[in-house]
Amino acid sequence: MTAWLNTIAQGVLVGGLYAMFAAGLSLIFGVMKLVNIAHGDLIVLAAYVALMVTDALGLNPILSLIVVVPVMATVGYLLQRGLLNRALGEDILPPLLVTFGLSVILQNGLLQLFSADSRRLQAGGLDVASVKLAEGLSLGVLPLLQFALAVLVIAGLHWLFYHTRLGRAFRAVSDDPRVAQLMGLDNRHVFGLAMALSLAIVAVAGVFLAVRTNFDPATGPARLIFGFEAVIIGGLSSLWGTLVGGILLGVVQAIGAEIDPGWQVLAGHVAFLAVLAIRPQGLLGGARR
């Protein structure tokens, strides 16, 4: 019994990571209807940036966030202004294919720079520390920290979207980009800020990914898929839905892995397909939009 409790608890905590993957993806789709196929590869890019920063500065990976987050946010803004804004329009094909091409470029660029070897960040003792909740049930400090941060990120995004000028601008541009210009909003700049924010979240997710698991240049697409599954399971237009979707995905994967290690990812896919078949609007997806 406690073994299962343990499995579920681990799954919930991993779900926080998936929720962060999902939140960045969902934010971009919400603001500019862009599905960023390179999202997973950008997460892996953030992991490599963290690797370089920790190597160069000798920082603890968690502290490296101070550098990685602004670096990735800048990458996001420049990427949007320099490339992605040009692909946006009525037709869904250009943004899709441009981000797909970007994904291939990122994967192979990382391969070129860092080889195909698996890497991992050491968090100096933090990665083995744990809190014992009951007999047979103990949770790692790092996963707990990561989950808390995920909740914080999503709460922060929610606050930003509904209580700040920038959030108001995001919603206005999403509703009606043409009329938004009449309010003095420069859509290209607003989109740039949205992508910067998305990649700031990606940076946090990437650092935790790097500390918790091995990564290599080819691991991006799977992160994209997990984030995407969390978005759909949780419900397209709901920020808190991404957290619910991430947690559910994490738990289902953990249970699948407990039954047979080969079923971990497959179980998540099956859960995703089941949600799609039975409740395509997602668990928290309501009537809005």
Partner 1 sequence: MPEPPLLGVAALDAHYGDFQALFGVSLTLSRGEVAAVIGANGAGKSTLLNAIAGLIRSRHDAILFEGEPIGDLPANRIVGRGIALVPEGRRLFPSLNVEENLLIGGQIGRPGRWNLGRIYELFPVLAERRRQASTSLSGGQQQMVAIGRALMSNPALLLCDEISLGLAPIIVRDIYATLRQIVGAGTAAVVVEQDIGQALAIADRVYCLQEGRVALEGRAGEVTRADISAAYFGV
Partner 2 sequence: MSGGVTRATRASNIGLVLALACLVALAFAPFWAGRDGMRLLIDAYLYLVLASLWNLLAGYAGLVSVGQQAFVGLGGYVLFGLAALAGVPPLLCIPIAGIAAAIIAIPVAAITFRLRGAYFAIGSWVMAEVFRLVASQISALGGGSGISLPAGIVTAMAASRHGREILVYWVALGLMVAILGGIVALLRSRHGLALTALRDNEMAARSNGIDVRRTKLVVFILVAAGTAMAGALIFLQRLRISPDAGFSVNDWTAFVIFITVIGGIGRFEGPFVGVVVFFVLRETLADLGSLYLMILGAIAILVMLKAPRGLFGFIAERTDTQLLPLQRRVRGV
Q: How many CB atoms lie within 10 A of CB 236?
A: 18
174 binds, among partner 1, partner 2, none (CB under 5 to 8 A by kind): partner 1
Residue 132, interface with partner 1 (CB under 8 A)?
no
Residue 131 corresponds to which tokens in the numbers above?
A: 């809190």
229 binds, among partner 2, partner 1, none (CB under 5 to 8 A by kind): partner 2
Give the number of residues in contact with partner 2, rule: CB under 8 A: 44
Residue 165, interface with partner 1 (CB under 8 A)?
yes
Dist. CA 270–CA 234, nearest whole Å: 15
When binding is defined by CB under 8 A, the residue of 59, 144, 185, 225 that contacts partner 2 is: 225
When binding is defined by CB under 8 A, the residue of 5, 66, 183, 273 that contacts partner 2 is: 273
Residue 105, interface with partner 2 (CB under 8 A)?
yes
Residue 221, interface with partner 2 (CB under 8 A)?
yes
The interface region with partner 1, picked from 11-19, 179-187, 196-204, 225-233 by CB under 8 A, is 179-187
Residue 86, interface with partner 1 (CB under 8 A)?
no
Residue 171 corresponds to which tokens in the numbers above?
A: 């919603």
Q: Least distance to partner 1 from the beta carbon of 286, Å?
A: 13
Residue 81, interface with partner 1 (CB under 8 A)?
no
Give the binding site for partner 2 (CB under 8 A). 29, 33-35, 37, 83, 86-87, 91-98, 100-105, 107-109, 111-112, 221, 224-225, 228-229, 232, 262-263, 265-266, 269-270, 272-273, 276-277, 280
- Can you give the binding site for partner 1, defined by CB under 8 A? 165, 168-169, 171-172, 174-176, 178-187
